[in-house]
Chain A
Amino acid sequence: MATEKKTIFSPELAARFDKLVTLYPVRRSALVPMLLYAQDEVGYISAAVVAEIAERIGIRENDVHSVLSYYSMLRTKPAGKYNVQVCTNISCMLRDGYGILDHCKKRLAIGHKEVTPDGLFSLEEVECIGACCWAPAMQVNYDFYDELTPEKVDQVLDDYKAGRGKETE
């Protein structure tokens, strides 16, 4: 629908959204994926993102906000370019997930849900990410890193800093 119209998204994402809303019996089913994909591109769910997604689906902005506030991966403030998410749930906790989190805090000099001054990294303590048998584990954006040690964490963070990190998108 909105390809000729003004959009805040890249042409690729706009085209993807045009298709996404047609895949389901109701357009609204595309809402959660659209929010996540928009966040991947824009960095967070801004007021403009909410407005455009509401319009594309044909629902009120209020409905978008209500869904947005429910899902823990969706955020309304920018994170770092590389969002470091350390799991401390039971299986990771038993294999020193908290040690990994503390190490990240020291190394990045930021706390939970904070961003480094250069905007490169943010840090989050997260709930189980489904890597229990390879604990302790973390994700940087969508990439998994498992069987972590402080040394391995340093290597991963150094790689991202040098622009050599894995990227799925």
Chain B
Amino acid sequence: MPRLVSHPDEVKIVSRRFGQGATDIDKYIELDGYKAAQTAIEKGPEWIIQVMKASGLRGRGGAGFPTGLKWSFVPKQSERPKYVLVNGDESEPGTCKDHLIFLYDPHAVIEGAMIAGLAIGSKQGFIYLRGEYRYLLKIMEKAVSDAYAKGFLGKNIFGSGIDFDVVTQTGAGAYEVGEESALMESLEGKRGVPRIKPPFPAVVGLYGGPTVINNAETIASVPHILMMGGEAYAKVGSERNGGTRLFGISGHVEKPGVYELPMGYNLKKAIYEVAGGIRGGKNLKAVVPGGSSTTVLTADEIEVGLDFDQMGKAGTMLGSGGIVVLDETVCMVEFALRTIQFYQHESCGWCIPCREGTDWLKKSIGRLHAGGAVDKDIDNIRYLAENMLGRTFCPLGDAAAMPTIGFVKKFRKEFEDHLNGKGCPYGHAQEREAALV
């Protein structure tokens, strides 16, 4: 069972019910559950979207798109049914926040999906969890069936005359399916190969119908926002970055865990105060701030606020909120290699720059780590990665290229230290280069 952590600087909004037995529907109701949905029914779609816009909530999956705006793009009239799709495919390395939402507050996901459905005029929601999360799927399935039993889902929800159904769905192991259009393909029973955009899901999505697709944390935040008010939620965060976020701090810190901090919270403080500093009193070398696809920050670059805009200005991304902390003992070439191994493994192979690019990057960095590279290989790695950027069908290619460029640019000295047959100066086992099959 994942360990829950706590720190006085946390502002618990989306994690408010964690560890309080809210998987039980009666307990959830006692903790103000399903009140927001009833208010939403009363006040109607325009009010919901207006509150969401005022909240400044931006997509918690990593792209940071304003949620209220996204919902407002869905056409009011549609010949095809509209759908709400909750993305719980959480697969970005360093990210385990949705894990806790499904574990401790499954009804918030249902209620959030319901409110999204009310906002866009959809009668059908899907909650998609990655295949590895079977025990969490069972928790979600029970929550859904309890909600049906109470009349909160199905026909005439809360006696309103409105219908809303929810179906849970499992994946079967694929990072790529976390991309919204690939997830729709998967839910339609196909390979998770992304679709070309436009059209965007809000217009042509699941089964060809207008679809709102949101990350599980985004959706679970919705009921809380309706309860506290959009402006109040916005005020908790920083400029243009409303509210709080679940930050998963992992790696070489004393107290790893998922902490809910206000948007804009200082990264250095998050590492040194909230997560207790570097393990064993060692020195910090680098931070991967928002899941493995985001550009690495050096120890000197962490005096920055954790929101979408400030992280962008710092040359990286807030991403999925998975903060991975690396101490001085880490070989950055080995770390870069492990990162690219992952993307090579997960590339769906549909488009060439990603399929070939990730494979050649893995081979080149692997050879370099083993001591078999020559001088120009370092530039070649960077050149190859830079030429993948923006040239792939979906963001997986960028997700592989961006961190690679960052590692070479910011830790070039470490790459050079591996040249001329020297191999890894950190003495790491070479057999690890054996690629994942």
Contacts and interface: CB of A to CB of B under 8 A. Distances in A.
Decide whether A and B are members of one complex: yes
Interface of A: 23-26, 28-33, 35-36, 57, 59, 66-67, 70-74, 88-91, 93-95, 98, 112-113, 125, 127-135, 139, 142-144, 146-147, 168
22 contacts: A26-B189, A28-B190, A29-B169, A31-B189, A32-B169, A32-B171, A33-B172, A71-B172, A73-B173, A89-B292, A94-B326, A128-B342, A130-B99, A130-B130, A132-B93, A132-B256, A133-B2, A133-B256, A133-B258, A142-B134, A142-B135, A147-B3
B174 A94 contact: no
B251 A32 contact: no
The 3 A-B residue pairs whose C-beta atoms are closest, nearest first, are A73-B173, A28-B189, A31-B189
A125 B434 CA distance: 11
A50 B81 CA distance: 31
Contacts of A59: 189
Contacts, number: 161
Given A33-B169, A129-B132, A142-B132, A98 B429 contact: yes
Interface string B111-141: 0000000000000000000111111001000
A25 B207 CA distance: 8
A88 B96 contact: no
B174 A71 contact: yes
Given A28-B188, A130-B95, A132-B322, 9 more contacts: A66-B191, A91-B251, A91-B322, A93-B335, A112-B436, A127-B175, A132-B93, A132-B95, A168-B135
Given A29-B189, A70-B348, A90 B172 contact: no
A28 B132 CA distance: 21
B246 to A, nearest CB: 10
B266 interface: no
A128 B92 CA distance: 7
B238 interface: no
A76 B437 CA distance: 15
B133 A130 contact: yes
A20 B167 CA distance: 10
B369 interface: no
A139 B132 contact: yes
A135 B279 CA distance: 14
Contacts of B94: 90-91, 128, 132
A89 B342 contact: yes
Contacts of B338: 88-90, 93
A125 B169 CA distance: 25
B192 interface: yes
A70 B81 contact: no
Contact of B93 (A23, A28, A33, A127): A127
Contacts of A93: 335, 338
